[in-house]
Amino acid sequence: MTELKPINPDHLHANVPGIDQSDRRVPTNLRQSGPTSVELLISTRVRKSPFWHLSIEAGAWRATVYNRMYHPRGYVRPEEGGAMAEYDALVNRVTLWNVAVERQIRVKGPDAEAFVNFVITRDATKIAPMRGKYCILCNAAGGIVNDPVLLRLAEDEFWFSISDSDLMLWLQGINVAEAWDVEIAEIDVAPLQVQGPLSEDLMADLVGDEVRELPYYGMMEARIGGVSVVISQTGFSGEKGYEVYVRDATLNAEAVWYAIRGTGARYGLRVIAPAHHRRIAAGILSWGQDMDSETSPFEVNLAYQVPRKKTAEYVGKAALEAQRDRIDACDYPFRQKLVGLRLGGHPITDYAPDFWLVQDSAGDRVGYVTSPWWSPELETNIALAYVPWSLSEVGTRLQVELPSSYALVAGQPVPAEVCEIPFRPSVNRSARERARESGRDWSD
C-alpha cells in the first residue's frame, strides 16, 4: 500500500476532517459541502433507460446517475410530503419503481456455472435454475466490486442484476484469455420493482395465482401487457415485493409500465423512487454509499457471503481467508467497521448530501455516517455508519455532527448509540437475522 504523506495543515480547508483512513488508497470524501444548487445536465453522454420518459410522465422531478444511466430519485414534491409520503405508500400499500439502472449482464455458455463460481464468493453450484441469490464479487485484495442479485435462468445462463459499478467490463477482463466457454454481455432487459404489502395481490391480478407460490428469490416466466417478462420475489425495500424483468425493453417498456399502473390503480399504487429510508431500516447496503471496491465484506456485516465451506477457488479467496483469520484472532485488519446507529436531532427526511461525521464520547472525530434517515416506526433517526472497531459494540455511546437543519442546537453534535442491524424486521428475513434466531454462526 502506498504510504500517505502528511498534509501541510496550512493547506487544509476548514471542512477537512482528521478521521483515520490510512488503510484506504483513495479515502472517502468527507468534505462537508452541504446542499449544492446545481442543475443535473441531461445529455447523450449518459444513457436514458427505456422507462426514463415514463418516469418523467409520472412526475419525477429529480434524478441522479447510477451505472452511467439517469435514475429518478423523487416523484412527490417536498411541499406535498416528499420522500416520506413515498415511504408511506411503500409500507402501507404498493409502489412501482423504475430500476432499469440495475443493468443486466448475462453470462451464457457451457462453462457458465464454472465461470460464475469463480467470480462470486458464494457457491454458484447451489443455485438451481429459476432461482436467485444476493451475492458479492471481490477483487484480488478482497474489496467488493459489486453486490448484484444473481439470477439463474437455466443450467447455462446467469443474469447479474448489478449495483452501481461497471461489472460487465470486469467480467470480460477476467475471461480475456477465454479460459471459460461463455459469452458475457449486457442484454436488453430492464427491471421494474413492485414493492409493498399489497404487491402480492397486485402481481397475482397481473399474472395469476402462481406468483403467490414463489419463494424468496424464486423466479417465474410470465406475460404482462402481452410482453414476456421474468418475475422474481426480490427487492430493495425489506417489504414484500417483486422485480419484473422486461425482455426487449427498448420495444416493450410502455406496454409493461402501463399494464402495471393500470391494474395497480385499484390497489392505490404509487410510482416512487427506490426507498432508501426503508432499506436502511432493513440493513440493506448501497454500493458506492456504504461500501466500494476498497471495502471488505468483513467490514460491512457481509461475512456470510464468504463461506468457510466453499472449497473451489474464486477471485479474492486468499485475501478474504487471511482477513478472516486475523479477525478470528482479534487482530482487526481494518480501521473502521459499519454499524447501526440510533441518533438524535430533528427528523432526517431526505438524502444526506455529505457523509456526516461521528465523534466519540470525548468529542474526537472518529468516523462517518453513510446512510441516515428518520424511522417513523421507531420514532428516531437511524443510520449506517463507519466507526473504529473498538467503538463498534452494541450500546456504545457516540455523537454525530448534523447540519443545522437537523441539529437540535446549531454547532452541537447529537447523541447516538450503536445498535443492532437491521433496525426493524423485513418480510423476508436476512441470513444474519435467521442465523441470530437459530443461534448459529452466521459467518459460516
Which residues are within 8 A (CB) of 3 and not within 5 positions of it... i.e. 6 or more apart? none
Identity (one letter) of the amino acid at 71? H
DSSP secondary structure letters along 26-45: S------------PPPP-TT
- In 3D, which of 431, 137, 443, 123 has the Cα closest to residue 303? 443
Question: Which residues of 19-100 form beta strands (DSSP E)?
Answer: 62-66, 69-74, 95-98
Has residue 2 got a pLDDT over 90?
A: no
Residues 55-96: pLDDT tens digits? 999 999 999 999 999 999 999 999 999 999 999 999 999 999
| Residues 176, 177, 180: CA angle, nearest 5 degrees | 95
- In 3D, which of 235, 237, 261, 256 has the Cα closest to residue 246? 256
- Whether 373 is covered by a domain: the verdict is no
C-alpha cell of residue 267: 390497489
102 is in an annotated binding site: no
Phi/psi region, residue 287 (left: phi>0; alpha: psi -120 to 50; beta: rest), is beta
What pLDDT, on a 0 to 100 scale, did the predictor assign at position 430?
A: 64
CATH of the domain at 214: 3.30.1360.120
- Whether 33 is covered by a domain: the verdict is no
Has residue 307 got a pLDDT over 90?
A: yes
Give the sheet arrangement for strand 219-224, strand by strand.
219-224, 227-232, 241-247, 189-195, 95-98, 270-271
Has residue 280 got a pLDDT over 50?
A: yes
How many CB atoms neighbour CB 327 within 10 A?
Answer: 18
- Whether 196 is covered by a domain: the verdict is yes
Parent domain of 200: 189-268
Helix (H) or strand (E) holding 326: helix 317-328
Report pTM: 0.94
Residue with cell 443535473: 40
| Cβ burial, residue 350 (10 Å; 0-12/13-18/19+) | middle
Confidence class for position 432, pLDDT limits 50, 70, 90: low
Identity (one letter) of the amino acid at 274? P
Residue with cell 456504545: 396
What pLDDT, on a 0 to 100 scale, did the predictor assign at position 444?
A: 44
| Alpha-helix residue ranges (DSSP H) falling in 265-316 | 276-282
C-alpha cell of residue 170: 470486469
Confidence class for position 1, pLDDT limits 50, 70, 90: very low
Mean pLDDT of 245-271: 98
**Secondary structure (3-state) at 179:** coil
Question: Which residues of 306-364 form beta strands (DSSP E)?
Answer: 336-343, 357-359
- Whether 410 is covered by a domain: the verdict is no
Has residue 267 got a pLDDT over 50?
A: yes
Has residue 363 got a pLDDT over 80?
A: yes
Say whether the peptide bond before residue 78 is cis (omega within 30 degrees of 0). Answer: no
- Whether 171 is covered by a domain: the verdict is no
- Whether 276 is covered by a domain: the verdict is no
**Secondary structure (3-state) at 79:** helix
Residues 115-138: pLDDT tens digits? 999 999 999 999 999 999 999 999
Has residue 436 got a pLDDT over 80?
A: no
Alpha carbon separation from 140 to 3, 120, 408 (Å, rounded):
20, 12, 45
**Contact between 378 and 278 (Cβ < 8 Å):** no
**Secondary structure (3-state) at 81:** coil
**Secondary structure (3-state) at 295:** coil
Residues 161-176: pLDDT tens digits? 999 999 999 999 999 9
Report d(CA 86, CA 90) in Å as an integer: 6
**Helix, strand, coil distribution of the chain in percent, nearest 5:** 25, 25, 50
- Whether 71 is covered by a domain: the verdict is no
Q: How many domains does the chain have?
A: 1
What pLDDT, on a 0 to 100 scale, did the predictor assign at position 14?
A: 66
Residues 309-353: pLDDT tens digits? 999 999 999 999 999 999 999 999 999 999 999 999 999 999 999
What pLDDT, on a 0 to 100 scale, did the predictor assign at position 428?
A: 81
**Contact between 242 and 199 (Cβ < 8 Å):** yes
What pLDDT, on a 0 to 100 scale, did the predictor assign at position 15?
A: 76
Report d(CA 69, CA 48) in Å as an integer: 6
**Secondary structure (3-state) at 410:** coil
- Whether 204 is covered by a domain: the verdict is yes
**Secondary structure (3-state) at 436:** helix
